[in-house]
Amino acid sequence: MNALVQALASHSDKLLGELEAIYKDLHQHPELSMQEVRTAKVAADYIEALGYDVTRGVGITGVVGVLRNGDGPTVMLRADMDALPMAENTSLPYASTVKGKDEDGLEVDVAHSCGHDMHVTWLMGASRIFAEHRDAWKGTVMVVFQPGEEVGAGANSMVKDWDAARFPKPDIILGQHVMVGASGTVSYRPGVILSAGDSLKIRLFGRGSHGSQPQTSIDPVIMAASTTLRLQTIVSREISPMDSAVLTIGSLQAGTKENIIPDEATIKLNMRTFDEDVREYMLASIRRICCAECDASNAERPPEFTTLSSYPLTENDADATRRVADAFNAQFGDSAYEAAPASASEDFSVFGRTWNVPYVFWFIGGTDPDIYAQAKAAKQVNKIPSNHSPKFAPVIHPTLGTGLQAMLTAASAWLCTSQEA
């Protein structure tokens, strides 16, 4: 057991009780992307009271805390803060009933259905251990509470403010995410661990008319339907079976009434890739197919493409991951293991990619161990409510303690002068 985890164990029950209350409070008060004002204040006030040099409003609502403790490496730990525009359906006594306004000014339900409330709580707890046990480590700790992960804007917005705030560049960047998996487990992977993600909005332009006179129209509904079907062939017929890729059309909107042929239709799609060449090919294929279908329909205007969000690959540094893996294996034993890549996407890697700094990202299981074991035995793991499900609800214990231990264990691989108690 390394010195920081030993320090955690010395007052684990009291701290976990405090952090559970914080987690439930954050869960009941979710905030949409780039609107995380209350969450940021909770985190900033907490670490400021611990003695961190705190800067607020970094990248709109982001928080950066710096704690210097002698000579040594600078380790950055990151947690994302934002919630999702969706209703929660967990029946938990601390479930969210919050509503908010999205970027279009529309009222929406808001819920922490991706676990970012757990991420914030983990980082707050780790911040306390660092502050109260300076004899266990040397160097500089940077704790970063990031906005806007769900819209792919938060990391970039913080990076833009970084130099002006004169923050140090870290030597290593560490982050973690609660996922479906047995609570109490930690999984890691060198190289690509999360896919790149791109979301596009495509406007297709036709010519409106009366439903009884289709010959006077250029029907964007037919155009959109044909485009939707054809886009599915990119993965099934243009991408090698040896490469992984996903293309999902999540929104197709056109018209207001059954006897009116509308002027235009809108498609919103999302794609995930694990290779930059595949990503570039798919983006080009999407444009080719949309333009071709518009030409086939004799459209008078070409389609209009808007990027809604773009996430780079999360590709862990191999040497740094081995260092983290060794620490995890020593701390968690068989409960730490190598994971398969996930098709989810994150903007966590923006920090490391921008600064050319190594980074490591890993997963913490959040599913009741008995439920997970039963589902795995029945080959029904896919039926467990996952991130972004209205029923996603990580069990608080031991998820809270495991995530806290994992964060401290990974940081110890750089900060601790001795790995033994």
Exposure string over 192-204, b if 16+ CB within 10 A, otherwise e: bbbbbbbbbebbb
Helix/strand/coil for 170:
coil
Annotated binding residues, written as ranges, equal 114, 116, 150, 177
pLDDT value at 318 more than 90: yes
Closest CA to 289 of 347, 210, 336, 236: 236
- Domain residues for 263? 196-310
Beta-carbon contacts of 354 under 8 Å, excluding residues fewer than 6 positions away, are 159
User: pLDDT tens, 270-281?
Assistant: 999 999 999 999
Is 420 a member of any domain? no
Residue 320: band (very low, low, confident or very high) from pLDDT cuts 50, 70, 90: very high
Annotated binding residues for Mn(2+), written as ranges, equal 114, 116, 150, 177
Is 377 a member of any domain? yes
CB 125 within 8 A of CB 14: no
Q: 0.75 exceeded by the pTM? A: yes
Whether 147 and 268 map to the same domain: the answer is no
Is 421 a member of any domain? no
H helix intervals, 50-178: 116-132, 154-162
- The reply to whether omega before 398 is within 30° of 0 (cis) is yes
Q: H-helix or E-strand containing 70?
A: none
pLDDT value at 421 more than 50: no
- Sign of the Cα pseudo-torsion (405, 406, 411, 417, in order): positive
Among residues 276, 295, 310, which one ends one of the domains?
Answer: 310
Q: How far apart are CA 291 and CA 269, in angstroms?
A: 16
Among residues 310, 325, 359, which one ends one of the domains?
Answer: 310
Whether 209 and 184 map to the same domain: the answer is no
CB 224 within 8 A of CB 290: no
Whether 297 and 320 map to the same domain: the answer is no
Beta-carbon contacts of 251 under 8 Å, excluding residues fewer than 6 positions away, are 266, 267, 268
CB 187 within 8 A of CB 250: no
Residue 192's pLDDT is 96
Residue type, 418: S
Q: H-helix or E-strand containing 256?
A: none
Q: How far apart are CA 124 and CA 26, in angstroms?
A: 12
Beta-carbon contacts of 384 under 8 Å, excluding residues fewer than 6 positions away, are 180, 367, 371, 372, 375
Residue 13's pLDDT is 82
Mean pLDDT score, 243-269: 96
Mean pLDDT score, 352-376: 97
Residue 91 belongs to domain with CATH number: 3.40.630.10
Give the bridge partners for 305, in sequence order.
202
Q: How far apart are CA 229 and CA 243, in angstroms?
A: 21
pLDDT value at 111 more than 80: yes
Residue 249 belongs to domain with CATH number: 3.30.70.360
Residue 419's pLDDT is 46
Q: How far is CA 276 from CA 152, 221, 245, in A?
A: 18, 32, 11
Closest CA to 122 of 47, 44, 23: 23
* Mean pLDDT over the full length of the chain: 96
Residue 144's pLDDT is 98
pLDDT value at 131 more than 80: yes
Pairing of strands 107-109, 264-273: unpaired
Q: How far is CA 197 from CA 120, 158, 202, 314, 346, in A?
A: 23, 20, 16, 10, 8
Whether 395 and 270 map to the same domain: the answer is no
Residue type, 274: F
Residue 417's pLDDT is 58
CB 376 within 8 A of CB 180: no
Whether 212 and 296 map to the same domain: the answer is yes
Is 311 buried (19+), middle (13-18) or exposed (0-12) by CB count in 10 A?
A: buried
Query: What do you get for the CA distance between the two ends of the chain, in Å?
Result: 6
Q: How far apart are CA 292 and CA 286, in angstroms?
A: 10
Tallying the residues shown for the chain, one arrives at 421
Structural domains in the chain (count):
2
Whether 285 and 353 map to the same domain: the answer is no
Whether 305 and 322 map to the same domain: the answer is no
Whether 292 and 359 map to the same domain: the answer is no
Residue type, 79: A
User: pLDDT tens, 186-203?
Assistant: 999 999 999 999 999 999
Structure tokens at 384: 């467990």
User: pLDDT tens, 153-193?
Assistant: 999 999 999 999 899 999 999 999 999 999 999 999 999 99
Mean pLDDT score, 263-268: 98
Among residues 310, 327, 353, which one ends one of the domains?
Answer: 310
Percent of the chain with pLDDT over 70: 99
Q: How far apart are CA 358 and CA 28, in angstroms?
A: 35
Closest CA to 360 of 332, 387, 329, 322: 322
Whether 138 and 225 map to the same domain: the answer is no
Residue 420: band (very low, low, confident or very high) from pLDDT cuts 50, 70, 90: very low
